[in-house]
Structure 1
Amino acid sequence: MSAASYDVVIIGAGIVGAACAYECAAQGMRVAVVDREMVGGGTTAAGMGHIVVMDDSEAQFSLTRYSQELWQRLRPDLYPDVEYEQCGTIWVAAHDQEMHEVRRKETYYRSRGVPVEVLDPQALEQCEPNLRKGMAGALFVPEDAVLYPPCAAQFLMDRAQASGARLHVGLKVTGIGKGQVRTTTNEFSAGTIVNAAGTSAPMLTSGLEIKPRKGHLLITDRYPGFLRHQLVELGYLKSAHSLTSDSVAFNVQPRVTGQILIGSSRQYGAESGEVETSILVRMLQRAEEYMPGLARMSTIRAWTGFRAATPDKLPLIGPWPEDNTIFLATGHEGLGITTSLGTARLLIDHLTGRTPEIPIAPYLPSRTVAEHVHA
């Protein structure tokens, strides 16, 4: 059987793969997307949908801020069911020590053009009256937003297909390399193969330093007006840096339905996708410490997902040094929804030879190969 030929074949129909398809098809490239499941399934469907600027490193800030700006440009065209809402993020400081972090983030963001506002305890209570009294203050980042990830991925894929991209779902990819993509039933050939397979990426490209990180989420019944902004404890940042122990942190999100999405947890080494009661209990207890009223709410569903994590917490975006036909777009961990558009733009800039708006160097896969050689 002869292989169907394309300019670009993208492995993975999650939000990163859909964004890559959208950018490539818009440039007139012949594009195919292959996934064993549906559009916006897997990690995308399990995600919180927070479009957030983060500053663990300069590279992380650059990609998240750039991507957020791309979402803002796309916002007028999004389907209503994408539920894009610019509710802003409030980083909550429980005590004076965390207020030092508020001031640091304020200085960092302001110097880079990100609007922020420091909230004292009274202003914080006015913004979110259901928070526990006695908080030290907070940092409000008004341009952060939330959306519904599966529908966002479907929007991007619809746009890609409208520009000629071909979608092949229900196909398990068994191997990629040297311009060839093999599935259980047929083959594709392409000058560029984009590995956007998330936690499955190392199975297709050996040598990737990606580990699955398990997370739990839970959603309540409808309680309109109880929560107005995405709320995250500043201790979340410490939790996010834990590479060995299971951790939970207060992280809640308002949905347009009036429901409240409650997170978050992080686990390394967990293999089962089952909901773990012990983790849920810890996660809910932490959330109720910050918002006691959550204890009176009915929860209707809990689920888990696995995020593709790299050792330096930066995604792998760019050509794979061991095969010049493979381009990686994976390893985004909990920021894949935010950074999907930036990742796709860096891909198309690379393929067309355009100068990117932000440097691609910090995300190149070659950095991990070099680190491995010098380790």
Structure 2
Amino acid sequence: MKPDVLIVGAGIIGAACADALSAQGLRVTLVERDVVGSGATAAGMGHLVAMDDNAAELALSSHSLELWSELVEGQAQRHEYSRCGTIWVAADDEELEAARAKAATMRAHGLECDVVGAQELYRLEPNLRPHLAGGLLVQDDGLVYPPKSARILLSRAVARGASLVTGEVVALEDGGVVLADGSRLSAGQVVLAAGTRCLALAPELPLRPKKGHVMITDRYPGFIHHQLVELGYIKSAHASEGESVAFNLQPRPTGQVLIGSSRQFDTVDLAAEPSMMARMLARAVEYTPALAGLNVLRCWTGLRAATPDGLPLIGPDPTRRNLWLATGHEGLGITTSLATAELLAAQMSGRQAGIDTRPYLPSRFNAQGRAYG
């Protein structure tokens, strides 16, 4: 029987969409060329974080955190979930003032957070360098192991009758796709949830690959206790050109430390670059000098799908019939996957979503990829 919905991509976004759509009684088929939870999902750090660069980003990320809390309740170990919290580190008094403004914005959205001074900062994280001003502690941020969460979401969908097809989609058709072996799959609706790979199928989309590096150390339990991010990270994360690095450390449940982050435009070469790794490490050691004594086991890269305004594309494609988009999440795909799926499922079924869907509609961009207004 022909499925109601065909989803291209079985990363965290595609798996979440399959879960949400199958929960509404729709027949769902996913198509993935590699393995479930590969691509950007496997490359990501798995940080579940409320981001407030703009109101729409905060609405989507904070709502999705609520959904993540429901999902992992009672099964934290299955997702390798940890409610570690995030400390946005303030290097000086000016950044501490920015932390206070950030706290006010987050509290207005019901997020629990506290501005901490230097003494409390070093009690929480003694390996930070001396003479920092303080920071903002966001208690409910957490982390998961994204490939495992993607598989769990997909297994829920499969239990409701969803199916998984292994194959590479090479073309879109009205109500279907063409695979690399020449076979065709048809459905009432098609959802593109394949990150930067969406550009190969719909090159007109306002997406741009943004490469990132991640490193992981050997096991050093207790080296850090929270996700640590410099307050300048937001400026780096939303840069529209060039290369940038920012201090970002994450304590894994294994006792290992994940080291981020970098951003590079205009390359799809997934090779790890020693020069970029050196810049990342230098930035991390600047904030945590003892990190220089740890052993780094490996480094990998991934490609984030970025839109011009930093918000994802969630909703009907404005130029193709029966095509829906769930892509363009840049570095927030893990965090916002569950809310994305809810918003997409609500639009496809004509139901009310938990938040306003309008800021994320693909129709906000014109034919040249520029946002209206």
TM-score (norm 1): 0.96
Shift of 1:112: 1.7
Residue of 174, 186, 190 corresponding to 2:170: 174
C-alpha separation in 2, matches of 1:111 and 1:28: 36
1:271 maps onto 2:268 in alignment? yes
Equivalent position amino acid for 1:96 in 2: D
1:102 maps onto 2:99 in alignment? yes
C-alpha separation in 2, matches of 1:250 and 1:220: 15
Q: Residue 78 and residue 7 in structure 1: after superposition, are their counterparts in 2 closer, same or farther (change >3 A)?
A: farther
1:350 maps onto 2:351 in alignment? no
Q: Residue 374 and residue 88 in structure 1: after superposition, are their counterparts in 2 closer, same or farther (change >3 A)?
A: closer
Residue of 2, 5, 10 corresponding to 1:8: 5
Unaligned runs of 5+ in 1: none
SS at match of 2:205: coil
Shift of 1:237: 1.2
- Name the residue aligned to 2:44: 47
What do you get for the CA RMSD once the two structures are aligned? 1.4
- Name the residue aligned to 1:210: 207
- Name the residue aligned to 1:117: 114
Q: Residue 103 and residue 373 in structure 1: after superposition, are their counterparts in 2 closer, same or farther (change >3 A)?
A: closer
Answer whether contact 2:76 2:82 (CA < 8 A) is retained: no
Answer whether contact 1:218 1:301 (CA < 8 A) is retained: yes
- Name the residue aligned to 1:72: 69
Unaligned runs of 5+ in 2: none
SS at match of 1:344: helix
C-alpha separation in 2, matches of 1:293 and 1:333: 30
C-alpha separation in 2, matches of 1:125 and 1:248: 24
- Name the residue aligned to 1:338: 335
- Name the residue aligned to 1:33: 30
- Name the residue aligned to 2:246: 249
Equivalent position amino acid for 2:57 in 1: Q
Residue of 74, 83, 86 corresponding to 1:86: 83
Residue of 180, 184, 191 corresponding to 2:180: 184
Equivalent position amino acid for 1:312 in 2: D
Answer whether contact 2:364 2:372 (CA < 8 A) is retained: no
C-alpha separation in 2, matches of 1:73 and 1:235: 31
Shift of 1:374: 6.6
Answer whether contact 1:194 1:326 (CA < 8 A) is retained: yes
Answer whether contact 1:177 1:325 (CA < 8 A) is retained: no
C-alpha separation in 2, matches of 1:21 and 1:137: 42
1:314 maps onto 2:307 in alignment? no
Q: Residue 189 and residue 278 in structure 1: after superposition, are their counterparts in 2 closer, same or farther (change >3 A)?
A: same
Moved more, 43-52 or 187-196: 187-196
Shift of 1:177: 3.1
Aligned length: 371
- Name the residue aligned to 2:128: 131
Shift of 1:206: 3.3
- Identical positions, percent: 52
Equivalent position amino acid for 1:199 in 2: T
Shift of 1:372: 4.2
- Deviation digits for residues 211-246 of structure 1 (CA, Å, limit 9, x no counterpart): 100000000000011110000000111211221121
Answer whether contact 2:176 2:189 (CA < 8 A) is retained: no
Moved more, 77-86 or 199-208: 77-86
Shift of 1:324: 3.0
Shift of 1:202: 1.8
Shift of 1:108: 0.7
Structure 1 runs of 4+ off > 4 angstroms? 370-375
- Deviation digits for residues 179-205 of structure 1 (CA, Å, limit 9, x no counterpart): 121112321111110000100112212
- Deviation digits for residues 226-269 of structure 1 (CA, Å, limit 9, x no counterpart): 11000000011121122112100100000000000000000001
- Name the residue aligned to 2:235: 238
C-alpha separation in 1, matches of 2:77 and 2:108: 34
1:290 maps onto 2:309 in alignment? no
C-alpha separation in 1, matches of 2:180 and 2:307: 29
C-alpha separation in 2, matches of 1:244 and 1:59: 22
SS at match of 1:252: strand
C-alpha separation in 2, matches of 1:270 and 1:206: 16
- Name the residue aligned to 1:366: 363
C-alpha separation in 2, matches of 1:123 and 1:324: 55
Answer whether contact 1:81 1:148 (CA < 8 A) is retained: no
